[in-house]
Structure 1
Amino acid sequence: MFSKTCEYAIRAMIFIAQQTKSDVRVGVKEIAKGIGSPEHFIAKILQDLSRKGMVLSLKGPTGGFYLDNKTLKCTLADIVKAIDGDKLFSGCGLGLEYCSDAKPCPLHHEFKKIREDIYKTLQSTKLDEFHDQLAKSIGFLKR
């Protein structure tokens, strides 16, 4: 459903949010290890998210990636849009260039409901909502 880049971005942002809630800034190595991803790939993803204002970073010995009150309220839909665009929320289920209510593909009406449900779920889920679940080891970011 998500690109590999988007999967890593979501997991990294949740990991950073978790650390931010504990007043910790984290480096690329720690993030990569914490979510089970390649360091160089996470570095590129975080650089992109940083340019887009979705994650903050501070250089130096006490530096690292972190979130502020605004970025902690970021939704998973915001991350998906920043990385993969909005095709997941508006694209055709069969990948056709043009598909609409007026000229639907065979999956259009069923897929439209699924897209709307996915969007509602991701739009209503904020990064700071995972803290308790992860702290209690009820949820995991790494296999």
Structure 2
Amino acid sequence: MFSKACEYGIRASIFIAKNSYEGVRVSPKEISKEIDSPQAFTAKILQELVRHDIIKSVQGAYGGFEIDKDLIVTIKLSHIVEAIDGNKIYSGCGLGLKECNEKRPCPMHDKFKSIRNDLKHMLETTNLYELATGLKNGVAFLKI
């Protein structure tokens, strides 16, 4: 459903949010290790998240990535998905057809439209705070 880059972007954002809430900046190497992703690929994703003002990069000896504590609750999953994958998840065909719409629907169009609307609602109402809290409390995990 999401691209691999988007999956890593969501995981990285949750990990950064958890650490930021505890006042800790994390390095690209730590992020890559925690979310089980290639370091160079992770670095590109982090740059994209910085460019979209989702995370902040701090240079220097005590640098790393962080999210302002006050913003953790305002950042929705939809912000991350749009930064990495754009809006195509809300309009793409469930079968991957180039042309699928109300006038020329694919066999799954109506059923997938409902799923897509539910997904959009979930992404727009889920914030990093609630996901980071689950990670912090040990009820959720980023890698097994």
Which residue of 2 is the match for residue 52 of structure 1? Answer: 52
Q: How many positions carry a matched residue from both structures?
A: 143
Asked if the contact 1:54/1:71 (under 8 Å) is kept, the reply is: no
Normalising by the residue count of structure 1, what TM-score does the alignment of the two structures yield? 0.93
Q: What SS does the corresponding residue of 1:7 show, helix, strand or coil?
A: helix
Say which is worse superposed, 20-29 or 77-86, in terms of deviation: 77-86
Structure 1: 5+ residue stretches without partners: none
CA deviations over 1:3-41 (Å, ceiling 9, x no partner)? 111110000000000000001111101111111111111
Give the match for residue 73 of structure 1: 74
What TM-score, normalized to structure 2?
A: 0.93
Distance, in Å, in 1 between the alignment partners of 2:114 and 2:44 is 34
- For structure 2, the residue ranges without an aligned partner over 5 or more in a row are none
Structural RMSD (CA): 1.3
Q: Which residue of 2 aligns with 1:21?
A: 21
Shift in Å, 1:55: 1.0
Paired residues of 1:17 and 1:72 also in contact (CA < 8 A): no
Equivalent-residue separation in structure 2 for 1:135 and 1:71 (angstroms): 14
Q: Percent identity?
A: 50
Kindly state the Cα deviation for residue 67 of structure 1 after the two structures are TM-superposed.
Answer: 0.6
Q: Describe the SS at the equivalent of 2:94.
A: coil
Matches within 5 A, 1:1-143: 1-68=1-68, 69-70=70-71, 72-143=73-144
Moved segments of 4+, more than 6 Å: none
Say which SS state the counterpart of residue 48 (structure 2) adopts: helix
Supply the distance in 2 between the matched residues of 1:118 and 1:94 (Cα, whole angstroms): 17
Shift of 1:83: 0.7
For residue 106 of structure 1, give the secondary structure of its aligned residue in structure 2.
Answer: coil
